[in-house]
Amino acid sequence: MFASLRALLIVVALALAPLALLIPAAAATTLPAGPLALRRAASPLPLEPSLADTRWADALTDGRFTNLATRAAAAGTTRVAFFYDDRAIYVGVQAEQTAPVVASQPADEIGFGTDDFVGFEIDTAGNGERVYLFAVTPRGTRYAFARESTRYKPEWGAAAASTATGWNAVMRIPYGALKLAGDGFQHWKINLVRNVAATAEHDTLVYTPLMADATVPTFPNYAFDWRFWPPVDGVALRGAVPRPKPRAEVYGLESAGTDRDAVVTPAGTTVRRAPRAGGGDVVVPLDPTTSFRRRLLARFLQRRDRPADDRAAAVPARAHRVLAVLRAGRGVRQRRARSLPAESPARGAVLLTEHRRVRPRLQGRREQGNDVVRRARGARQRSADRRRVRRSRVRHPPAASEQHVRVVGGRRVRRT
Residue 342: predicted pLDDT: 47
H-assigned helices in 266-345: 310-314
Residue 23 has pLDDT above 50, yes or no: no
User: What mean pLDDT do residues 272-293 have?
Assistant: 77
User: What mean pLDDT do residues 373-387 have?
Assistant: 83
Domains belonging to the chain, first-starting first, are 25-237 (2.60.40.1190)
pTM (two decimals)? 0.57
Average pLDDT, the chain: 77
Sign of CA dihedral 143, 148, 154, 156: negative
Question: What's the Cα-to-Cα distance from 55 to each of 32, 43, 59, 94, 368, rounded to whole Å?
Answer: 20, 11, 6, 14, 90
Residue 89 has pLDDT above 50, yes or no: yes
For residue 223, give every residue at least 6 positions away whose Cβ sits within 8 Å of its Cβ, in sequence order, or none. 128, 131, 147
Residue 170 has pLDDT above 80, yes or no: yes
* Residue 336 DSSP symbol: E
Tally of CA atoms within 13 A in the half-sphere of 16 that contains its CB: 7
Report which of residues 406 and 69 the model is more confident about.
69
Residue 364: predicted pLDDT: 67
Report long-range pairs for 303-306 (Cβ below 8 Å, ≥24 apart): 304/263, 304/264, 305/263, 305/273, 306/265, 306/266
Cα angle 169-171-177, degrees, rounded to a multiple of 5: 155
**How many of the other CB atoms lie within 10 Å of CB of 66?**
21
Predicted confidence band of residue 261 (pLDDT cuts 50, 70, 90):
confident
pLDDT tens figures, 306-343: 444 444 444 443 333 333 333 333 333 334 444 444 44
pLDDT tens figures, 111-159: 999 999 999 999 999 999 999 999 999 999 999 999 988 899 999 999 9
